[in-house]
Structures are given as C-alpha cells and as structure tokens.
Amino acid sequence: MNTIRLLKFCRITSKITAQSLATFIILTLIFACLSVAPAMAASRLFEGLSNTQLVALQAIPENINTRISNSFVTEAVNKVGLAVVRIDTERLITRPTSHFFEDPFFDRFFDENLRIQPPSQELLKGQGSGFIVDPKGIILTNAHVVNEADKVTVTLNDGRKFIGEVKGTDEVTDLAVVKVDTKSENLPVAILGDSDLVQVGDWAIAVGNPLGFNNTVTLGIISTLKRPSSAVGIPDKRLDFIQTDAAINPGNSGGPLLNYKGEVIGINTAIRADAMGIGFAIPINKAKEIKNILARGEQVPHPFIGIQMITLTPEIAKQNNSDPNSVLDLPEVAGVLVTKILSGTPAEKSGMRIGDVILEINNQLVVSAEQLQRKVENSSVGEKLLFKVLRKKSEKELFVVSGQMNY
C-alpha cells in the first residue's frame, strides 16, 4: 500500500514539475522576445487572449514613477491659467457737506470754524477677474468690475502688477476691455472657443479669483442655454446667458468659463443670491462681436425702439378679460403686448400705443418679448422696421426707425 501511494505521489509531482517547467520556459521566451522586439512581441503576445485575460492585463498597475495621469480639467486649466488675471479697482467717493449747521441759529453755540465741515471722502475698493485676449495686453472683463473706477490694477498669474487703462465699457452687455502696457513684452493669451457649439450637459470649468482667493478653479456642467437676462433678474441687459452649476462667487466676475479643451466659451458675470449652484456667463461669441469696438474706445451700437413689453398668449389674454377690474380688453392671440411707450423714442414717433399687440416684424412672426428684443438687437441703428400690430380688432402697419440706446 505504501508503495502504491509513493508511486502516485511521484506521478503528481512529475506533472507539477513539468507544468512549472513549461510555464518557466514560456515566460522566458516571452521576455526574450520583448527584449529583442518589444512592439512585435507585445502584438503577438496578446493574440488569442480572451477579453477577460486582456482586462486582467490592463488592470496591472503601472510603475508609479513613470505614470502621467493629468485629468482633462488639469489640462484645460494649464492651457489658460497664465492668461487669467486679477483686477483690483479703487474709486474715491466724495460726500457733500451737511448744511445742517449753516443755520444762523447755531452761531451762538458753535465757533464758525467748527461749523464749516470739509466734504468727506471714502475710498471704495472692488475686485474681479479677467483674461488676456491679445499678447499686447488687451484684457476682457465685465463692465461692472471696472465701471467708474479711478484706478485699475491688473495682477498677472506670476504676481506681476500693471496699471490698467479702461479702453471701453458696454453696460448693455456688461463687457469691458482693459489695456496694460507690457513694454513690448508678449503676454500669454486665452484661446477663444465657439459658444454656438456648446450643448447642455457639456463640462464647464470656471477660473478666477472668487472672494479674494487667487487662481481658483471649479467644475460643473452647462445647465441650460440662452437664458434671457430678463429671466435672470437683469432687465436692463440684452443678453442670453449660458447657465452653469460650476460654482461662481463674487470675484469670479469677468473670468473665463472653459470647455473641456481649455477654450473660453463664456465670461462669468452673475449669480443668483437666492439659489445655490446657479451661475451665468456671457457667451464668448457676443464678446467677439464687440471686443474690438471696445478696444478702440468706441460706443457699441444697440438699436432700440423705446417700449416696455410682455409676452401675450391666448391664455393670459383670456384670464385678463375675465377679470372685472381689468383696464384693457386684450385680443386672445399670441404676440407681444406693449405696456409703455417711452417719451421721445422711435416707437412714439411711429404712432405706436399702449395696448398694441405686436404680431410681426418685417413679415416675421413674433410670439415672445425675448424674440422681439433679439430681432431689434440684430437690426442696425437707423434701420426702418415694419411692425404689424393688432389694435383693438384692427391690424395696422407701422414703420419704426430704430435709434441708438443711450445709457
């Protein structure tokens, strides 16, 4: 019995030894091939392997000393980071002297020199962001960052400071151009993308100096597109914003919003104080249209007709007409209801009236106030526009010559 067991043990041992020897020989041949011709050996090595085996091979960790694993965010920020700047502003406010002590009644109580008070002054400081779009020192930012500033200081990513000159501002689009004197030195510039190609769900990377923390990066997605400024709560602007959930805070204003490739697709400009995680950016294509005009110090043309308006739908009209306190009987149609005519404007000169419902502009239907605003904005100052309006129950045609909006 012991002899039989011994023979079985020897057979098993010989099989294991043979298998181990075969495995050793195969591995030796593989490494020999790799040392002679790595590319060819690797190609042949993977032939015939199953998907499971390939996945197992891919899961083997790389040498930590040779691994390079930058994320797309890192790569995007590295492309534009040196072109992002910090903008600090100063503005001196002079407050008038109080006339309270000028009353002769106080002569008996106060010395004359004590009653004469010099005007008080207060230095207001602000801070925002911007980015370089021309190597000669042209910087894009928000108008509200530099408006009425007495002094503008631009700090580059490397810490160097320059005094900035505000070349032009446009309050309607909240855009501004600042110039710094680089002494013939070329500065790094940000790559401008195409905001018309942006889609909801795309990555969004905000870069700037929020709350005084320099070179801050936040990540999110594009939440929606063409959000009207009126819906955002900024009725005095003419913009369709890019909405994002990338964190934007005070100080981010004027900084770039990037896509995953590191291209600027927007300029961070606004947040909703009553909503966490919602920010808005000006599409970069709007900035492309007017940045050269601002850099030349010229006024940006903004055609306007001079009305206040709301979108009218059959449902809104029906609800209004059923109200016994309503002052207007509205036609139950889709269009734009004129609620006010501003004095001395093209609309007043054309004969437009409160209560008119605008149905068409230049033979094109309009069904919302935002659509009408875009059509007027896309016209030229001094262009004659044909409006079809419904006044009570009669349709009328009015010619309105658009004017330049002053602000």
Which residues form the catalytic set? Answer: 144, 174, 253
Residue where the block lists tokens 């990338």: 246
- What span, in angstroms and rounded, lies between the C-alpha atoms of 249 and 272? 10
Q: Please say whether the beta carbons of 271 and 259 come within 8 A.
A: no
- Cα–Cα nearest to 33, from 46, 44, 23: 44
- What span, in angstroms and rounded, lies between the C-alpha atoms of 230 and 370? 8
Contacts of 132 (CB under 8 A, 6+ apart): 83, 85, 138, 139, 187, 188, 189, 190
Q: What angle do CA 200, 229, 88 make, to 5 degrees?
A: 95
Burial class (CB in 10 A: 0-12, 13-18, 19+), 19: exposed
Residue 27 tokens read as 């591995």
- What span, in angstroms and rounded, lies between the C-alpha atoms of 206 and 201? 15
